[in-house]
Amino acid sequence: MLGPFNYQVSLPAVCLVLLASPLQADILLLKDGRVIDGPMMERGEETCTIHFKNGDVLVPNDWVEDLFLAADLEGLAKNRRRSLEKQGEERLEQIEEALAHAEWGNAYEEETSNFRWKYTLPKRVAEMFQDRLESYYKIFAKEWRVKRDKRKKKMMINFFANRKEFMRTSGAGGGALAYFMFLGDYDLCCFYDRLDMTSTEMVLYHEASHYLQKLLNEDFKMPHWPGEGIAEYYGGALWDPKKKVLNVGLVQEGRLTEVQNDIASGELLTVEQIVLKDAYTDYTWGWALIHFFMNDKTLKKGFLKYANGLANDKKVNRQRGSFNLQMVTPEESLRYLRECLKLTEDSDMEELTQRFHTYIEEDLVIEGAAGLEKAGMGAVQAGKRIRARRLFSEANAEGGLSAVGCYQYAKLVRSSDKNLARDLYRQATELAPLTGTYWYEFGRLHTDEEEGKRFKALGKELDPEVGVYDIDFEDSDDSE
């Protein structure tokens, strides 16, 4: 039997105590890699109920990979009982192996066709990302005609099990979600956000794009635009599990919402401004411009020639810059873009800008609340708290927020509107019932003191690390 513990994707270091029968306690295995063992559980038509000491938690059945109940053994024939016990034993061996690799110093280390991997994720979760990144590599390499120098080491993907481990071990700072080290033996560091696997996948593709752009010419550093715009374009790729294909160049709803908000406030960037402006807009307007180029048959070939030529064309004026890498100025980048797209007159640039603006208006479409929420997340990352609150509010009114969106919105408003924050935390507990932080924060704002204490205790039961710092998130020092 496993000693009672809540095994989350961070794989806390606990001791395994295996008794004669692995099914002397109920064991729940979730698709995102977590394992819960210890509390009594019940199997229902739509949910699995976990009876924690401080309250029941309902887990949707579509989250569940396996559920082993000790009660299932009662009254079974000996051969059927042994078969069920064997399944449980195999699962426990998998858990035991994962726990053995829970610390970064003893992380899994593997190689796939084009990458080296070091990770503390559950193995089956890591394998999913490995397969997808290899598919991504093949698509990019074919379209951009790049090859990895096989005399060099494959790039290392350092994949941390959670953000805390990533911040503690990778050397990342601030609000970084991942980074690509473009010097020496290339290195990519990222973490697994089990609450938002789509975001994890997109961040991985974004950073991997910087590596693949580097393969155009390893002595060259791509300018912020088009570099970040390309990374955002390919970062919008998502895996289709039914068709088992990677769909590239999807609409980044959050980025598009930011562009549309800029337009609504009177900021309408031209193609020339985007190329020359080394700023945050390279992630938003820059992404939109790349999306336009890559989806217009009359422009795509010229754009690919431009991006490749920045790194390799002898007619481009490159100079040595930081880290002794070749670079181009924004002005030279614009000159060469005009050459590759045959924009000889200023009127040609004006016409291209008009086509681009029409493309944004007519071809790029946001589907409901998701884009507003993603834009709100982007505003939080950029420190634009007033804009973030407005976008989250609109997303909530449009069709609802995800658990992460509810949590982020609640943090922004909890000082000025505790009733709204309380309701948002409650929604978060319903959407992600196994996340201790949501229960704990809901308890902190609960109007009933005793119930509040119980919910806080439930939060700590789910995750002993929550509540270490009881900080009220003030919604002051707003910026736009």
Does pLDDT of 5 surpass 60?
no
Residue ranges of domains in the chain: 5-100, 105-215, 256-366, 369-462
Residue 478 has pLDDT above 80, yes or no: no
**pLDDT greater at residue 22 or residue 462:** 462
Please state, rounded to an integer, the average pLDDT across all residues of the chain.
85
By percentage, how much of the chain surpasses pLDDT 70?
Answer: 86
Quick: pLDDT tens for 400-422: 899 999 999 999 999 999 999 99
Res. 163 pLDDT band, cuts 50 70 90: confident
Q: What is the pLDDT of residue 124?
A: 83
Q: At what angle do helices 224-235 and 197-214 cross, to 10 degrees?
A: 140
Q: Please report the pLDDT score of residue 304 as a whole number.
A: 97
DSSP letter (8 states) at residue 315: T
What is the predicted pLDDT for the residue at 78? 64
* Residue 139: φ, ψ to 5°: -65, -50
Residue type at 367 in one-letter notation: E
Give the confidence band of 370 by pLDDT, cuts at 50, 70, 90. confident
Q: Does the pLDDT value for residue 343 go beyond 60?
A: yes
- Taking residues 304-320, what's their average pLDDT? 96
Distance CA 370, CA 404 (A): 12
What are φ and ψ of residue 114, in 5° steps?
-125, 0
CA distance 291 to 389: 28
Residue 28: both structure tokens together: 């729940």
What's the pLDDT score for residue 474?
A: 41
The tens digit of pLDDT for each residue in 36-58 reads 877 899 999 999 999 999 999 99
Task: Report which of 366, 432, 365 is spatially closest to residue 399, judged by C-alpha positions.
Answer: 366
- As a whole number, mean pLDDT of residues 204-213 equals 95
Which is more confidently placed, 355 or 125? 355
What are the tokens at 467? Answer: 């509540």
Average pLDDT, integer, range 30-40:
82
Q: Would you state the torsion angle of the CA atoms of residues 133, 97, 108, 8, taken in this order, to the nearest 10 degrees?
A: 60
- pLDDT tens digits, residue range 84-113? 667 666 666 766 777 777 789 889 999 999
Mean local confidence (pLDDT), 442-464: 94
DSSP, residue by residue, 38-69? SSEEEE-SSEEEEEETTEEEEEEGGGEEEEE-
pLDDT confidence tier of residue 17, bands split at 50, 70 and 90: very low
Q: Please state the φ and ψ torsions of residue 20, each to the nearest 5 degrees.
A: -60, -40
Q: Which of 148-152, 253-257, 321-325, 450-454 has the lowest mean pLDDT?
A: 253-257
Tokens describing residue 168? 């503690």
Per-residue pLDDT band at 13 (split at 50, 70, 90): very low
Dump pLDDT digits (tens) for 166-199.
988 888 877 788 999 988 889 999 999 877 888 8
Distance from C-alpha of 257 to C-alpha of 398, rounded to nearest angstrom: 14
Q: Which letter does DSSP use for residue 323 in this model?
A: G
| Mean pLDDT to the nearest integer, 222-231 | 96
What is the reported pLDDT for 146?
93
Report, in this order, helix, strand and coil percent for the chain, each rounded to 5.
50, 15, 35
What span, in angstroms and rounded, lies between the C-alpha atoms of 204 and 158?
11
**Which pLDDT score is estimated for 85?**
66
pLDDT confidence bin for 75, thresholds 50/70/90: low
Confidence (pLDDT) at 80: 59
Whether residue 479 is predicted with pLDDT greater than 70 in this model: the reply is: no
- Residue 81's pLDDT is 59
Q: Is the pLDDT of residue 73 over 90?
A: no
Query: Tell me, which fold does domain 369-462 have in CATH?
Result: 1.25.40
